[in-house]
Amino acid sequence: MKQIKVRFAPSPTGPLHIGGARSALFNYLFARNRQGKMVLRIEDTDLERSSPEYEREIIESLSWLGIDWDEGIDVGGENGPYRQTERLDTYQRYVDRLLRSGHAYHCFCTEEELARERQALLEKGEIVAYSGKCRDLSPEERDRKLRQGLVPTVRFKVVPGEEIVVHDLVRGTVTFDSSEIGDFIIVKSDGIPTYNFAVVVDDHEMGITHVIRAEEHLSNTPRQLLIYRALGFEIPEFAHISLILGKDRQKMSKRHGATSIMQYRESGYLPEAVFNFLALLGWSPEGEQEIMERDEIIGKFSLSRVAKNPAVFDLDKLNWLNAQHIKRKSMKELGELVRPYLESSPYWHRVEQMDQATYEVLIEAVRERIVCLVDVVKEVETFLAPPQYDADTLSKLEKPEVRGMLKGFLEHLPEQLDLEQARTFMKGLPKALQLPAKQVYMPIRLGLTGSPQGPELPYLLVVMGVPEVRQRLGRFI
């Protein structure tokens, strides 16, 4: 059987966002599941908007997610270069071929007049397509315009009245009428090919067998099919996956808040959680299992289980998945992951002073409570920030019986204790003080942090340290 080869071909005109990442992911999963190859190609033919910074960010985002590729930018390969602006001579060869075979022609219409015509058609509610004005220019006319210094575009000639059939792995058979497609531009006046042309040439040259991309490209496909045919290329399989929508059910875009992959990284989402979440958006595994690691997903992935309907991005579920993946981390791993966030905390100097054992107690205390890694910053404040007491809390703490209890607590409190000892100590405390549990624990908590909620008391004692416990409670005695 022929080896499968897919590609992800972003244009570096912005950061990698959720939708793009999902396209990349599905390509990756498909390739890895079928022992195929993955290509990363940069489609930078939009000179105005492309930038090397975005290209770098996209690559970094993919790498962070754990998506890698066998051929392409950064890793090279036998079909390079993998940046479209570096492949202009290749496109030129095929343009010449189309020009010679009569499949394409030079067009001298200006952008202004085209925009006017398009607007008029749109208003009349007619099919918006190029008029074909320059289609039958005589060689003499063409040469004259060229001599006048007019810079032409190259258009692909579309024969109307023809049925164009797209066979799509997720959508089935989709039929288009060529009459709805006007002659379209394949080379811009700056000599750079357009997407519809370059994508066909590259996919062919690079031996792509499966084109997996977002549904917004479906209506481009008939144009590309025409080019495949004119050039005599073998047609790959297509799979158009449905879009990811925002809460407002519109295509995901910058308007929807955090949308770039890097933003998720910065907020402390784990790459394996984002990977897991994205895989579940538009695809579902056969079993019931939802929390999965990369290799499990690769093993289960198949295009036949990709849904046709668009999916709304659900942050709640991502959050839940992230918390689940955090719980799967070992203390040691989590301690490392969380450190950069703690470094930005105003209490970092305190954390820095902790010995390894105390640090791990801190991590353990916080582990079940955080959804994103950044949440540690807030959590750590419970332990280290100077407590704030509101009036209500103060009135509770200043009762005489509470004062007596706290006094007893401090008298019994050892000077030094680890987590196990703290647990035992706290457990036995009500008995030692001869008080019911509810009269003991909550006042201590309030006195220590000013808040009725937070990690279990033994954690508080260990992380805070006995001296600070004494100091915080001292004012209530």
Partner RNA sequence: GGCCCCAUGGUCAAGUGGUUAAGACACCGCCCUUUCACGGCGGUAACUGGGGUUCGAAUCCCCAUGGGGUCACCA
Contacts (CB under 7 A) with RNA, residues 192-221: 192, 194-196, 199, 215-220
- Phi then psi for residue 311, to 5 deg, are -120, 140
Amino acid identity of 55?
E
Distance of closest approach, residue 352 Cβ to RNA, in angstroms: 25
- Residue 151: CB atoms within 10 A of its CB come to 13
Residue position matching structure tokens 């987590």: 419
Q: Nearest distance from residue 121's CB to RNA, in Å?
A: 8
Identity of the residue, 142 or 171, whose beta carbon is nearer to RNA in the bound complex: 171
Contacts of residue 237, defined as CB under 8 A and 6 or more positions apart, other chains included, come to: 167, 169, 209, 210, 211
C-alpha 456/C-alpha 442 separation (Å) is 11
User: Out of 254, 308, 378, 427, which one is annotated catalytic?
Assistant: 254
Residue with tokens 């709304």: 312
Q: Which of residues 172-191 bind RNA (CB under 7 A)?
A: 172, 174-177, 180, 184-185, 188-190
Which of 99, 137, 245, 413 touches RNA by CB under 7 A? Answer: 245
Q: For RNA, which residue of 118, 135, 328, 329 counts as binding (CB under 7 A)? A: 118
CB nearer RNA, residue 130 or residue 228: 130
Number of residues that bind RNA (CB under 7 A): 88
| Consecutive H or E run containing 312 | strand 311-312
Whether the bond between 285 and the residue before it is cis, its omega within 30 degrees of 0, is no
Q: Which residue from 92, 101, 110, 353 is in contact with RNA, where contact means CB under 7 A? A: 110
Is residue 323 a contact partner of residue 371, using CB atoms and an 8 Å limit? yes
Q: Which residues, numbered 4-33, are part of the site for RNA (CB under 7 A)?
A: 9-11, 13
Handedness of CA 217, 218, 222, 225 (dihedral sign): positive
Which range binds RNA by CB under 7 A, 53-61, 105-113, 292-300, 352-360?
105-113
Q: Give the interface segment with RNA, choosing from 27-35, 63-71, 305-313, 351-359 (CB under 7 A).
A: 305-313
- For residue 439, which phi and psi values (nearest 5 degrees)? -85, -5
Asked if residue 344 lies in contact with residue 330, where contact means CB atoms within 8 angstroms, the answer is no
The reply to whether 307 sits near RNA by the rule CB under 7 A is yes
Tell which residue, 241, 247, 219, has the closest CA to residue 309. 241
Q: Is 254 considered catalytic here?
A: yes
Q: Which residues pair with 6 in a beta bridge?
A: 38, 210
Which residues in 263-302 contact RNA (CB under 7 A)? Answer: 280-284, 288, 290
The only residue of 33, 319, 358, 421 in contact with RNA, by rule CB under 7 A:
319
Choose, by CB under 7 A, the member of 3, 63, 92, 250 that binds RNA: 250
Among 4, 99, 128, 258, interactor with RNA by CB under 7 A: 128
Contact 108, 134 (CB under 8 A): yes
Of positions 242, 322, 345, 393, contacts RNA by CB under 7 A: 242
Q: How far is the CB of 327 from RNA (least distance, A)?
A: 7
Catalytic positions: 254
